[in-house]
Amino acid sequence: MEVAARFLGTRPRTRWELTRRLRRAGAAPDVIEATLERLAELGYVDDIAFARWWLEQRDRHAPRGRRMVEAELRQHGVPRDVIETLREAEAELPPETEEERARIALERHLRGRPLPADRAALQRVGMFLVRRGFDPEAVRRTLRHAAEGGDLPVED
């Protein structure tokens, strides 16, 4: 329990992450299971809460598209059913949410520089956003909006 508590001290963790950490510490499987059950009862281990926290952190500090966030959650051991639940909840949100995240990521990437006007540079910026997991259609709409006098300055 002490190892798990220290591990949870820095940020929320998934059940899978805690299991791995306790195995590395040499805990027996029955001790690991009992520890995880107790932590779940106390509310310290909750994969759904972790996934929501992860989404909030991503939106606040390093916006990513839905696809990349889902991949990151899978890397942290979040079960598919939890990811599916989040996907369903996000489907109820307006499509502008993905575009808003893309716009924020674009602004941070450009760091006050103007949006490039030439096609090749604009494609590179678009591919940057796609690599960050944004839907290609949302990237197109974001770049089109920015180029048509949206929130970002455009290079002459």
pLDDT tens-digit readout, 51-102 = 989 988 888 888 888 889 999 999 999 999 999 988 887 766 666 678 888 9
Q: What mean pLDDT is predicted for residues 28-50?
A: 95
pLDDT of residue 61: 86
Short-list 8, 21, 19, CA closest to 50? 8
- The average confidence (pLDDT) of the chain is 88
Count of residues for the chain? 156
pLDDT of residue 156: 43
List residues bridging with 115 in a β-sheet. 154
CA distance 111 to 87: 30
pLDDT of residue 152: 56
Contact 146, 154 (CB under 8 A): yes
Work out the percent of the chain whose per-residue pLDDT is above 70. 92
- Tell me which range, 21-35, 55-69, 104-118, 134-148, is most confidently predicted by mean pLDDT: 21-35
CA distance 130 to 36: 37
pLDDT of residue 151: 58
pLDDT of residue 73: 95
CA distance 141 to 147: 10
Short-list 114, 27, 104, CA closest to 65? 104
pLDDT of residue 95: 61
CA distance 149 to 87: 32
pLDDT of residue 94: 64
What is the three-class DSSP state of 29? helix
Q: How far is CA 7 from CA 1, 3, 10, 64, 120, in A?
A: 10, 6, 7, 26, 46
pLDDT of residue 120: 92
